[in-house]
Amino acid sequence: MNLPLQKYFRLNPECYLVKGADRGAIYNLLSGDIISLNPKNTNILIDCEEGKSIKEIINSTDDQCLVLFEKLREIKAGSFYEKKIYIKKYGDRDPWKTFSPVPPVLSLGFIELSNLCELECFFCKGNEIKPFYRGCLGCSKWPIDGEKQLELSDWTKVLSQLNDLECRDLVIVGGNPLLIEDKFKALVNEIRSFNFKKIFVYTNGMYLPENIIKLLEKYEVYPIIQVFSCKPNEYKLITGRHGRFNILTNNLHKLIKNSVKFSITILVSQITQNSIEKIIESYNDLMPENIYFNYLYPTYNNLSDFSPEYCEKLIIAKKNLPRISVEDFYNKKDYNSCLRGKIAITAEGDILPCIMMRDDIIGNIRENSLQDIFADKKIDLYWELSKDKIDICKKCEYRYACSDCRALEKSVTKNLYGRKYCAYNPNKGEWATDFLTVLQ
Amino acid sequence: MGKPEFQLAGFKFKTRNGNEYFYDDNTGMVFYCPEILWEILNLYKNNSKAKIFKTLSGKYLDKNLQNYYNFFNRWANKSNAFFFIEDKKKSISPSEKEIVQYLSSNGFRQLILNITDECNLRCKYCIYSGNYSYSRLHNKNKMSFDIAKMAIDYYFTMFKKVWKRNPYRKPSVCFYGGEPLLNFSLIKKIITYVKSKFPELKDILTFNISTNGTLLIEPIFDYLISNDVAIAVSLDGNKYEHDRLRVDKKGKGTFSKVMKNLQKLMNKYPNYKMLIILSCYDWKTDIFCVKNFFNENLLNVKEGASSYLLKTSEIASFFTGYYNQYDETDRKTFAEKMGMLEEEYFNRAIKSKKPTKDYLDYLIGLNCNMVLFQQKPFLGARLTSLPYTSTCVPGEKLFVRHDGTYHMCEKINHHFPIGNVEQGLNIESIINIIALYNQQISPNCASCPIKRYCPVCYANTATQEGFLKDPPNRCESNIEYCKNRLSYIFSILEENPAAFVAGMGDYYKNGWEVDT
């Protein structure tokens, strides 16, 4: 092969090389593309980035590196240079945060009013903690000691502290928080005197009398309705109650009639796994603001109920890797992509990094202010839990791309730094194709 | 068809290897910029893509032309690089609400108490020496405990409000002079008062003192260290250099006194982390001797890294006739010596894989890192109505004079008070100061190619009645300085991409390490 006239090859400023235990990846921080590299090419590019000349690289490997360089040039990931140059990579981090701490950016505060719920969903039945089944985007129900429940005055204190921290949005969760009507009314009345940008309430949509709807409208509280199916019989199977689908449908129409904006969260389960598109279509007709998805995770003994296609959606699989912006990249490099910016307060006053991480109590509102939690850096452990801190993930070249649900991972591995729901083995550089095995 | 006028948002500079780069102030990026890219940038102002290709096709290979045009295009389109974008930030007069809101998140970082104006020294370059226009002169004014208490109560009341927004913040009380140790009894009273009045803050409270070191005798430093006070001591180098500049009222050098005290302190508390040495120099400084002095006596270079920090600064040259005592030969001689040290640092930095901590690291390396950070030396978020230069929003710090007037910092002259102990901060004064500053200093800043690097602030532009750049060509000099600095830094980085912690130091240094 003819040697190029240029002596050096370097990745472009927007292309950031990340090495894994076996393979490597180039993150293009302008286009969002991630390019996977075999071990040999990874090492060649490390040499390039460290300033070695093409000649030196050929001498230590072979001239096949020229094919790699040409390919990378074609896809605008790198360029040839006559002289040794320095490439400043895109998006240096702000070093000043070390010297003068900037205020925490709190985007979402979860407040749990109660665990009351009128449904008996098969994955949420009774009053005991079940094997973990889904992420935080939707209703859930946790055991609560009635005597320890916060009073309205406690909640006012919490709201005031969240407001002082300039928390952007608030999410009221239950059980179904609308069931404790008086407390809910009093709470939203308080909330409006603060400066939260948006207020959401997670509800199963079963209890929406006119006065509640008027309240949602008046105080601009934005319901996110948890749905399970678009068929009455499946609804009965899932919720354990007759007629619930009709109640839901009526209530959704009441919201529409009263021009109350709402969103839908679909909890997909083994019962509905083959009719996702139909469910979307059905709820799309109601013109919700957004449709979100939650997936029920298999437990140890019911894996066979789930299809491989369904299982693929539950894990980090090759096709689930997102495109990555420069902001995402540096955020994931330094922080946990999900936990950062969130805090949750349970009905008993416990302060959690995530409403689903029930064992990770970092304080109680009766003893600590939310400000104490930040001042003592108790939340930093979670906000700064990047993939670089997780043993297996720190060996992975995709560690600054993939998302993370610590609540799910911890629930199944019993380890804050554990990882199960990923199909990639960074030590071998291989993606698993049998997704059921990953979930076992 | 022609395009509207485009103005480049940066400048080109060249490294020692002859490579050319473009510094882009919009993104803070530095792009390799050979002639072909430079021509595209300049032609883009008034030409279509087809015209650019037609103009340049005889000169460059089509493949190269396409490559560099693509490069230019994707950065211009995806991150607004290369040309000034329409300036939507208007330097205007802020509203009261804007100031109050800003200070509720970013204000009250430090309370600086001007314990006394009195000083037992008469340093040649002291800002109160009479060499600097608009600054006060030496006098014997002392702060009373009552004034101190009122200022402390106000500061901590305001701090607690800010803390609710930013719980990471720690209250900081600084003792400033004159020579604050001339009023040591007040310092003790203040420390006792603060600790007893705000016991809930005891774990996060910080104290600092700036002292000339002559009175820093054993019982005093024992007290300061037992109360975790961070101590900044001025020491301008070896005996000759220090005594040349830092003298007592009789004109006698103070080196022996300061060194004796410092050595005692360092011997008794060898691991005290909160000691910083402040060292100034001017055109007559034999910077080689100063380097050797610090390396051998204070930085313990041979024995590994020291616990002490060093901050070096050139004696200020604005609003002063201080440098009139020197001539062009002095300036050139000093510049040559600095050039030689830069060369020494260069030769070390291009090879070094390990960070060192000797005098040159403080004198040159720190500065290179600061430039690479590409952040203005201000802390925190910016106020939308104060978009340019690195100046603060008055109220971020609270400097309290002996008579209880509040000022924005210890560096600014006394003509711009922003409140007092009786009434607290005067927001109207703050608004007026910002409006005046915007009007007098930053009307042309929108098209400045070094907005990220600008060192201009109230303190270094304040006259008696307003703000003025001294010398008038200060902006041009700053731009030239940035070009030279970037050229120097990139010349190092071409040889050793991991030379600095800042910039992409972690990428080039640690990016490949995978713990298997």
Distance CA(A320)–CA(A325), nearest Å, equals 16
* Residue A177: closest CA among A132, A212, A147, A153: A212
Q: Is any Cβ of chain B less than 8 angstroms from the Cβ of A381?
A: no
Distance CA B430, CA B436 (A): 10
Q: What is the pLDDT of residue B205?
A: 96
Task: Supply φ then ψ for residue B439, to 5 degrees.
Answer: -70, -40
Tokens of B510: 């640690």
CA distance B428 to B435: 11
Question: What are the respective helix, strand and coil percentages of chain B, to the nearest 5?
Answer: 45, 15, 45
**Among A21, A96, A101, beta carbon nearest to B169:** A101
Model confidence pLDDT, tens digit, residues B297-352: 877 655 554 567 889 999 999 999 999 999 999 999 999 999 999 999 999 999 87
**SS3 state at A263:** strand
**pLDDT (tens place) for every residue of chain B, 516 residues total:** 344 457 899 999 999 999 999 999 988 899 999 999 999 999 988 889 999 999 999 999 998 999 999 999 999 988 889 998 766 656 578 999 999 999 999 999 999 999 999 999 999 999 999 889 999 999 999 999 999 999 999 999 999 999 999 999 999 999 999 999 999 999 999 999 999 999 999 999 999 999 999 999 999 999 999 999 999 999 999 999 999 999 999 999 999 999 999 999 999 998 898 999 999 999 999 999 999 999 988 776 555 545 678 899 999 999 999 999 999 999 999 999 999 999 999 999 998 776 677 899 999 998 898 888 765 444 456 788 888 998 999 999 999 999 999 999 999 999 999 999 999 999 999 999 999 999 999 998 988 999 988 999 999 999 999 999 999 999 999 999 999 999 999 999 999 988 887 766 677 766 677 765
Question: Would you call B382 an interface residue with chain A, using a CB distance cutoff of 8 Å?
Answer: no
Neighbours of B442 (CB within 10 A): 20
Is the peptide bond prior to B419 cis by the omega test (within 30 degrees of 0)?
no
Q: Which residue has the tokens 């087809």?
A: B50
Looking up tokens 């804007």 gives B98
Q: Do B17 and A73 touch (CB under 8 A)?
A: no
Residue B176's beta-bridge partner residues?
Answer: B114
A48: nearest CA partner in chain B:
B508
| pLDDT of the residue at A133 | 61
Instruction: Please calculate the CA angle B54-B59-B61 and round it to the nearest 5 degrees.
Output: 85
Instruction: Please tell me the predicted confidence (pLDDT) of residue B377.
Output: 40
Q: Which among B175, B171, B195, B202 is positioned nearest to B187, based on CA atoms? A: B175
Strand partners, A292: A265
Q: Which amino acid is at A285?
A: D
Closest Cα in chain A, distance from residue B269 (Å): 25
Give the ranges where B281-361 is alpha helix by DSSP (H): 287-293, 328-349, 359-360
Interface of A with B in 127-166 (CB under 8 A): 161, 164-166
Q: Which pLDDT does position B28 carry in this prediction?
A: 87
Cβ atoms B374, A92 nearer than 8 A: yes
User: Would you state the structure tokens that stand for residue B280, as one six-digit string?
Assistant: 């100034």
What's the distance, CA B11 to chain centroid? 23
The residue with tokens 């009526």 is: A250
Tell me what pLDDT residue B379 has. 42
What count of Cα atoms within 13 Å lies in the side-chain half-sphere of residue A306?
25
Beta-ladder partners of B248: B121
- Give the chain A residue nearest B372 (alpha carbons): A92
Residues A267, A272, A277, A282, CA torsion sign = negative
> Dihedral sign, CA of B499, B505, B507, B509?
positive
User: Residue B378's pLDDT is what?
Assistant: 43
Q: What is the pLDDT of residue B513?
A: 72
Beta-bridge partners for B120: none
Question: What are the start-end ranges of the H helices in B80-118?
Answer: 96-106
According to the model, what pLDDT value does residue B370 have?
83
pLDDT on residue A134 = 65
- Residue B212's Cβ-side half-sphere holds a number of Cα atoms within 13 Å equal to 25
Q: Which contiguous run of DSSP H or E holds residue A71?
A: helix A65-74
For residues B416 and B350, give the distance between their C-alpha atoms in angstroms, rounded to a whole number: 46
A419, A390 Cβ separation under 8 angstroms: yes
Q: Which residues contact B516 (CB under 8 A, 6 or more apart)?
A: A21, A395, A427
Q: Are A326 and A91 in contact (CB under 8 A)?
A: yes
Residue B398 near residue B410, CB atoms below 8 Å: no
What residues pair up with A81 in beta bridges, in sequence order? A8
Q: Are B418 and B395 in contact (CB under 8 A)?
A: yes
Using CB atoms, which residue from B31, B204, B493 is nearest to A13? Answer: B31
Chain B, 252 to 281: residues with Cβ < 8 Å from chain A are none
Helix axes B145-165, A152-164, angle to 10 degrees: 100
Cβ–Cβ gap B508/A85 under 8 Å? no
The CA distance from B30 to the nearest CA of chain A, in Å, is 6
- Please list the residues that pair with A36 across neighbouring strands: A25
A395 contacts in B (CB within 8 Å)? 514-516
**Element holding B185 (H helix, E strand):** helix B184-197
Cβ of residue B32 closer than 8 Å to a chain A Cβ: yes
Cα–Cα dist B514/A192, whole Å: 50
CB atoms within 10 A of CB A331: 17
B238 phi and psi, to 5 degrees?
-70, 170
Whether residue B512 lies within 8 A of chain A, CB to CB, comes out as yes
Q: What is the pLDDT of residue B2?
A: 41
Rounded to an integer, what distance in angstroms lies between the CA atom of residue B339 and that of residue B17?
18
Tokens (6 digits) for A328: 């995402």
Coil, strand, or helix at residue A436?
helix
What residues have CB less than 8 Å from B244, skipping those under 6 apart?
B124, B236, B253, B284
Return the number of other C-beta atoms located less than 10 Å from residue B513's C-beta. 8
The ranges of chain A with pLDDT < 70 are 1-5, 92-100, 125-135, 300
| Cross-sheet strand order for the sheet of A34-37 | A15-19, A24-28, A34-37
User: How many angstroms separate the CA atoms of B41 and B107, rounded?
Assistant: 42
User: Are B32 and A166 an interchain contact pair (Cβ–Cβ within 8 Å)?
Assistant: no
The Cα–Cα gap between B111 and B148 comes to: 10
Beta bridge partners of B14: B20
Q: How close B425 comes to chain A (CA, Å)?
A: 21
Report which of A140, A202, A421, A422 is spatially closest to residue A297, judged by C-alpha positions. A421
Q: Strand pairing partners for A79?
A: A10
Give phi and psi for A260, each to the nearest 5: -90, 120
| Tokens standing for residue A206 | 């079963």
3-state DSSP assignment of residue B233: strand
Interchain contact, A83 vs B490, CB within 8 Å: no
Q: What is the least distance, in Å, from the CA of A253 to any CA of chain B?
A: 41
Peptide bond into B471 cis (omega under 30): yes
Contacts of B233 (CB under 8 A, 6+ apart): B211, B212, B213, B216, B258, B262, B275, B276, B277, B278
Angle, CA B246 vertex, CA B245 and CA B248 arms, to 5°: 130
What is the Rg, in whole angstroms, of the alpha carbon atoms belonging to chain A? 25
- The structure tokens listed for B209 are 């003192």
The residue of chain A with its CA nearest to that of B161 is A164
- How many beta carbons lie within 10 A of that of residue A229, not counting itself? 25
Where helices occur in A149-267 by DSSP H, the ranges are: 152-164, 181-191, 210-218, 232-239, 244-257
Q: Is B353 on the interface with A (CB under 8 A)?
A: no
Considering only CA atoms, give the Rg of chain B. Answer: 25
Task: Report yes or no: B475 and B469 within 8 Å, Cβ to Cβ.
Answer: yes
Strands B229-234 and B275-281: parallel
Over B387-429, what HEC string results? Answer: CCCCCCCCCCEEEECCCCEEECCCCCCCCCCCEECCCEECHHH
Residue B91: the pLDDT is 58
Question: What's the CA gap between A376 and A57, in Å, rounded?
Answer: 50
**pTM exceeds 0.95 for this model:** no
